[in-house]
Amino acid sequence: MPDDATSRLGLPLLAPAQAQKHVTHNEALDRLDMLVQAVVEALDVVMPPALPEEGKLWATAAAPGGDWAGYPLSLASLRNGGWVFVPLQPGWRAWARSIAAARVFDGTAWQDEIAAADLQNLPWIGINTTADATNRLAVTAPAVLLNHAGAGHQVKVNKAAAGDTASLLFQTGFSGRAEMGTAGSDNFDIKVSPNGSAWATALSANATTGKLAAPSGLDVSTGITGTAITQTITDTTAGRLVKVRDSTSVLAQIAALSVLGNATNATADIAAIAAASDHQVLRRSGTAVAFGAVALAQAAAVTGALGPANGGTGVANDAAATLTRSGNHALTLTTTATTDVTLPATGTLATLAGAATLTNKTINLASNTLVATSAQLAAALTDETGTGVAVFSASPALSGTPTAPTAAAGINTTQVATTAHVFAERANAATLTNKTLTSPVINTSITGTAVTQTATDTTANRLLKVGDFGLGAATPPALTDLTAAIMPGQYHIVDLATATGVPAGLTGRGTLVVTRADGGRGWFILALPVASLASQRHFFGSRSIATGAITWVRAITDNEIVGTVSQTAGVPTGSLGQFGSSANGNFERRASGQAVCTRTDQTTPNASTAYGSLFRSADIVWTFPTAFFAGTLPAVAFSADNADVLGFRVISLSNTAVTFQLVANASIATTTTVRASAMGRWSDMA
């Protein structure tokens, strides 16, 4: 460094015993005023301005001229009537008024503060807003312009696989309303939604065929024009849509009470075929089609038999048959072979000879009389097989006072029982005293005072229903006070925080199982049914009397052996042990309140400072990986694998760190690795 100026900015320095020190000092201040927060009028200027303004600053070019000749790549400023030049140094920054931008000098030229390389692989960009990990490019603006660079312009949305989504999503209040793109396939879909959750596909273009589909249907409220529809009434171009109700349409509007068709015997345009009067039908007559009456005398006019609904018999009648009109008249049917006859509601059926067979007929005896002897009736009635005795299809309803012999007590046959027999047997069965029931089957619920009346009914000798005392119940009985008398069973506690007699500090729901011994002594198991294994807690309790406080102990589960230790009012409430580490070493906390910190890679500077007849190192600070209990000091110990190390000197000690020095009998010029340990308490538990 020169003796008269600073090495970087060239600021003049005061000389010892210098006279007029203010001159040198003011020159240094003037130089600082020129360089600090530099603002230049222009960059790479070749010639000085004709009328320079005092104090203004310019950056000279690589080969300047005029008064600037010989001062390339410098800052030039008119000061006190003369030019002052300061050579540029790499890294200097200046604001250029001519371009209204900041530039950085790299040693040869002025560069943008942000290089092009600095804009590559940015994690995200937010323009007038904040970007995030999902919306890595976020823009808040009235519009976004993507302009061409002299030719065409493409916006590309690329996806990894066909099953992914590449689309443009249109939102209202950040809720989706329309989306177009390839969503879940390579087909191009346009979807809309009224609420952002229910979506309907309006149009879908098949990626393979290019065909366009409208899965939700089309709503065309105005007429369709163009070459995709028929152009004239006789347009037969394949694939075109047919118009309706149009003067040039094959389906144009036609006159009332007519149909469209070709009434001639030759190829012709479609025309209206009108009906002249009521009841006419459309039929062919010779070589024309027109409305008119049907000529029933023509064999081709009517085929088949006229059904009963239209006044016929439903069959083709033999010409020899004689049928009279319907009504209350005698009907004579003369045939030469076996004939089936269906009678009206009233009338007489008679055959010329032999017997008549009635098949699948119902005889109503309420309005008809069956005349037969008992023997004839027994002979005429058979069962469904045609060989046995007739049986009733349903139990008969007996009226009057039917009689039957009274069955003996205890009889069990098909004999009809009298009321005397039924009442006697019922009275005999009503009392079950000293009765032995063999494999009884009870198919209805048992009610009455023989069963428990409530979920906690303790009345002796009553039958216990499923669900009472929580046995087999989806929701066991609820408890709020565990100091009261509790019968054996299973219960649930809705809110442990407000329940009486539960272990301190519990919240949420709980399940309680109770057993009891003689004298009302009780044993209790309390569990917190939570989904997280780390949050599960189990407690065992007991008391020697029927009511009162329960003595609780907590069961340590396998997931609590190692975890986070904690305590409440001096009582451990967490895991048995806790292990951790940081850059400052490892630590172990125990449920007893004891804590141990260790570090095996603590390095010390050289021990070359004279310390009496010995040597010591500089101060070494070890911040414990976990703090000890406030107000207590741990016991610390150190060791090192170096024969020259005599020991260690503690400079200061707190519950968070220790400052020490390494002491040696000879100067140690290299670093030494020290093993350090500290033992104390993380809690004030006794």
- The CATH number of the domain holding residue 653 is 2.60.40.2080
The burial class, CB within 10 Å (0-12 / 13-18 / 19+), for 659 is middle
Residue 584 and residue 598: Cα distance in Å, rounded?
9
Task: Determine the straight-line distance between the first and last CA of the chain, rounded to whole angstroms.
Answer: 66
β-strands 567-568, 571-572 pairing: antiparallel
The residue segments making up the domain with residue 590 are 571-681
**412 lies in some domain:** no
pLDDT single digits (tens) 229-278: 887 766 778 878 777 655 555 555 677 788 878 888 888 777 778 887 88
Residue 30 and residue 25: Cα distance in Å, rounded?
9
Q: Name the phi and psi angles at 681, rounded to 5.
A: -125, 140
Indicate left, alpha or beta for 364 from its phi (over 0: left) and psi (-120 to 50: alpha). beta
| Residue after which a domain boundary falls, among 511, 529, 555 | 555
Domains contained in the chain, number = 3
pLDDT single digits (tens) 61-72: 999 999 999 999
Compare 534 and 441 and report the one with higher pLDDT.
441
* Tokens at 40, concatenated: 């230049």
**658 lies in some domain:** yes
Q: Would you say 462 and 449 are in contact if contact means Cβ atoms under 8 Å apart?
A: yes
Together in a domain, 543 and 587: no
The model's confidence at residue 554, banded by pLDDT at 50, 70 and 90, is confident
**495 lies in some domain:** yes
SS3 487: coil
pLDDT single digits (tens) 173-232: 999 999 999 999 999 999 999 999 999 999 999 999 999 999 988 877 776 788 888 877
Which residue carries 């500290």 as its tokens? 678
**576 lies in some domain:** yes
- Statement: residue 321 has pLDDT above 70: no
How many Cβ atoms from other residues are within 10 Å of residue 661's Cβ?
19
Which residue carries 């039958």 as its tokens? 463
CA-nearest of 408, 369, 501, 281 to 491 is: 501
Q: Would you say 202 and 195 are in contact if contact means Cβ atoms under 8 Å apart?
A: no
Residue 291: its H or E element: strand 288-292
CA-nearest of 282, 281, 279, 258 to 270 is: 258
CA-nearest of 629, 624, 561, 559 to 594 is: 629
Average pLDDT over residues 486-498: 89
The model's confidence at residue 380, banded by pLDDT at 50, 70 and 90, is low
Together in a domain, 583 and 672: yes
Residue 433: its H or E element: none
**509 lies in some domain:** yes
Compare 333 and 25 and report the one with higher pLDDT.
25
Together in a domain, 602 and 646: yes
Together in a domain, 540 and 623: no
| Residue after which a domain boundary falls, among 78, 98, 116 | 116
Residue 456 and residue 478: Cα distance in Å, rounded?
11
Residue 528 is predicted with a pLDDT of 82
| Residue after which a domain boundary falls, among 88, 116, 144 | 116
Together in a domain, 626 and 588: yes
Together in a domain, 515 and 576: no
**589 lies in some domain:** yes
Which residue type, as a one-letter code, is found at position 184?
Answer: G
**594 lies in some domain:** yes
Beta bridge mates, 567: 572
Average pLDDT over residues 44-61: 93
Residue 554 and residue 563: Cα distance in Å, rounded?
16
The burial class, CB within 10 Å (0-12 / 13-18 / 19+), for 628 is buried
Q: Would you say 114 and 64 are in contact if contact means Cβ atoms under 8 Å apart?
A: no
Beta bridge mates, 96: 40, 101
For CA atoms 415, 420, 424, 426, give the dihedral sign. positive
Together in a domain, 480 and 516: yes
Distances (CA, A) of 593 to 403, 560, 567, 680: 97, 16, 9, 9
Q: Would you say 482 and 501 are in contact if contact means Cβ atoms under 8 Å apart?
A: yes
Together in a domain, 72 and 97: yes
Of the chain, the percentage scoring pLDDT greater than 90 comes to 36
CB-facing half-sphere around the CA of 499: CA atoms within 13 A: 28
Q: Name the phi and psi angles at 378, rounded to 5.
A: -65, -35
Residue 1 is predicted with a pLDDT of 44
Q: Would you say 48 and 68 are in contact if contact means Cβ atoms under 8 Å apart?
A: yes
**195 lies in some domain:** no
pLDDT single digits (tens) 443-465: 777 788 878 888 777 787 787 77
**DSSP H helical ranges for 301-452:** 374-380, 419-430
